[in-house]
Amino acid sequence: MTARGWIWTSVFLGVLGLALLAAIRLEGSPPTVLLPGESVLLSSKPAPLKLSLLDAGAGLRHVQAEIAQGDRHWLLVERGFLGGWLRGGAPGTGSGELELLIEPAALGLEDGAAVLQIVARDWSWRNGFSGNEIRSTLRLRIDTRAPVLQIENGLTYVRRGGAAAVTYQVDEPTASDGVRVGETFFAGHPLEAAAAGGQQRRIAIFAIPVDAEENPSIRVEAADAFGNRTERVFPAVVQERSFAQSTITLSDGFLETVVARLAEAENIETSNLVIAFQSINENLRAQNEERIRELIGSPSDASLWSGAFLQQPGSQVMSRFADQRSYVYEGSEISTATHFGFDLASTAAAPVAASNGGRVLFAGTLGIYGGCVVIDHGWGITSLYGHLSQVDVSAGDEVKRGQTLGLSGATGLAGGDHLHFAILVGTTYVDPREWWDPKWVREHIEARLAAPPP
Ligand SMILES: [Zn+2]
C-alpha cells in the first residue's frame, strides 16, 4: 500500500472508531429508580427507606434525593458515581442503592403529605454530555402522633394457665392493638363501632401461658398504620399454681395398635414402635400444634359466644389441663409432653356438643387429635374437640351452644373412647375450668364489657 493509502485507511479506521464510540456513548436509556411503591407512610421513628438504582448502559453518574412539602425543600442526599467522559461509568456503576432515613421531627417536616423526588443521571453523552436523566417521585404521608391509649380496668388477678380481659380506648384507628404477655401477643377486638375520628372501646382477652416466665411483663399496646406505637403497663398480678405430674406406662398392645395405626396413617416408619411413638408424640404433635396456630390466624372480631362454656354433658374428668406427662416403656421414660386439654369420658360414641356459639374453623382428621373439630368463638377464643369417631359439621358452619358436632371416639393418639377438649386464647392453651364456670365468666369477662361511668 502507498503512504497515501495508509493515511486514508488510518483516517477511515479512526472515524469508524469514533463513530462506534459515539454510538455506544450516546445511548439513550436513562437510569431506572426502583421505589418501594407509590407512596410510603412515615411515623415518628421510620425505618430507613431503601431505593435501588439501575443503569445497564453508560453507568450511573449522579443521584440526588430531595423532599418537598408545600414550598419548603430539603436536600437529603447527593451522590456522584465514579466514571469518565470517555469510558463512561466505572465498573460497579451499573447499579446502586440509596438508603434514606427520613426523620420528620429532625427535618422539621409537618404531619401530612410530602413528596420525595429522586433525580438520577448516567454517563451517556446525550443532552450535551450531561447524560440521560430520570425524575422519580414518591408520595410521602407523614403521621408522627402515636395513638392515645386509655386502660379502663384496675388491678387484675390472673392465674398461670388462666385468662383475663382488659378493655381500653384508643383515639384513632389502629393497625394493631392488644396485650403482650412476655413475647406472646393477644390481639384486641372492637367493643363498639368506631366514632368519627376513630375513637373506639376495645377488648383484649389474654392469658398467662403455662410456661411463661415468672412475673411476665403485661402491657397493653396500640400502633397506628404509620407505625406510631403506645404501650402501657397493665396492672396485673399473676397467681402462681403448679400442674400435676403424671406417668403413662405404654403397653405393647398400645404400641402395636394405636401407635402402629397412627404411624402408618402419617407415613412414620414403624419398624421400631418406640421410636414411632417418640416421633408421633414430639414431631407430629408439634406439626399439629403449628396447624392449629395457622387455623386460628384471624379470629372473628365479633363475639359469637355468650355466657359460660358448656362442659361435655355427663362426662367424667380423666385428665386435667397442663398435666406434665411422662411416657414410660419397660421402666424408662421415652418421651414427655404437656397435656393442654381436659380428657372427658362418658359412654362410647357419645354425642359431642359445641361448648358455645361459634364458627367451625376445621372439621376433619388432625394427627394426634384424630377426628377433630376446631371452633372460632370470636375475640380470639377457640375450642378444640379431639379423638372423635364421627364428625358431623364442616369448616365454615355456624354452630350454636350445645349443638352436636359429632361422636366421641378413640381416633388419633388415644387409648380409649374419650373427648379431648381444649380452649385457646389467641394461640395459648388455657384452663377450660375458668370458661366452664359461669361465675368466673361473669366476673372476669362480662363485668368488663359495660362502659365505665364517664
Ligand atoms: Zn387429651
Query: What pLDDT does 201 receive?
Result: 96
- Residues 276-307, buried b or exposed e (16+ Cβ, 10 A)? bbbbbbeebbeebbebbeebbeebbeebbbee
SS3 101: coil
d(CA 244, CA 141): 55
For residue 354, report the phi and psi dihedrals to the nearest 5 degrees.
Answer: -65, 130
The list of the chain residues with pLDDT below 50 reads: none
Residues 353 and 311: their CA atoms lie apart, in Å, by: 8
Instruction: Provide φ and ψ at 321, rounded to 5°.
Output: -65, 135
Q: What is d(CA 375, CA 395) in angstroms, rounded to the nearest whole number? A: 9
Q: pLDDT tens for residues 146-199? A: 999 999 999 999 999 999 999 999 999 999 999 999 999 999 999 998 998 889
Q: Amino acid identity of 251? A: S
DSSP-assigned letter for residue 367: G
* C-alpha closest to that of 355 among 338, 341, 339: 341
Would you tell me how many other CB atoms lie within 10 Å of the CB of residue 394? 11
CA of 385 to the centre of ligand 1 (A): 9
C-alpha 110 – ligand 1 centre gap (Å): 57
- Cross-strand bridge partners of residue 409: 418
**pLDDT number for residue 62:** 93
CA of 189 to the centre of ligand 1 (A): 30
C-alpha cell at 42: 412515615
How far, in Å, from the CA of 343 to the mean position of ligand 1? 5
The per-residue DSSP string of 27-81 comes to --PPPEEE-SSSEEEE-SSPPPEEEEEE-SSS-EEEEEEEEEETTEEEEEEEEE-
Q: By the 8 A CB rule, do 349 and 409 touch?
A: yes
Which cell is 427 given? 394461640
* CA distance to 58, 269, 306, 355, 426, per residue, from 381 (Å): 60, 36, 12, 11, 6
Measured in angstroms, how far is the CA atom of residue 418 from the centroid of ligand 1? 8
Domains and CATH numbers, the chain: 29-142 (2.60.40.2550), 149-241 (2.60.40.10), 245-429 (2.70.70.10)
C-alpha closest to that of 166 among 83, 231, 110: 231
The helix/strand count (H/E) of the chain reads as 9, 34
400 Cα: distance to centroid of ligand 1 (angstroms): 24
Closest CA to 240 of 264, 206, 216, 267: 216
State in Å: Cα 415 to ligand 1 middle: 10
pLDDT at 343: 93
Per DSSP bridges, beta strands 229-233 and 49-54 are: unpaired
Query: Which cell numbers in the block locate residue 244?
Result: 400435676
> How many Å lie between the centroid of ligand 1 and the Cα of residue 432?
13
What confidence score (pLDDT) does residue 303 get? 95
Coil, strand or helix at 153 = coil
Give me ligand 1 centre to Cα 446, in Å: 29
pLDDT of residue 226: 93
37 CA to centre of ligand 1 in angstroms:
49
d(CA 307, CA 204): 17
Q: How far is the CA of 364 from the centre of ligand 1 (A)?
A: 17
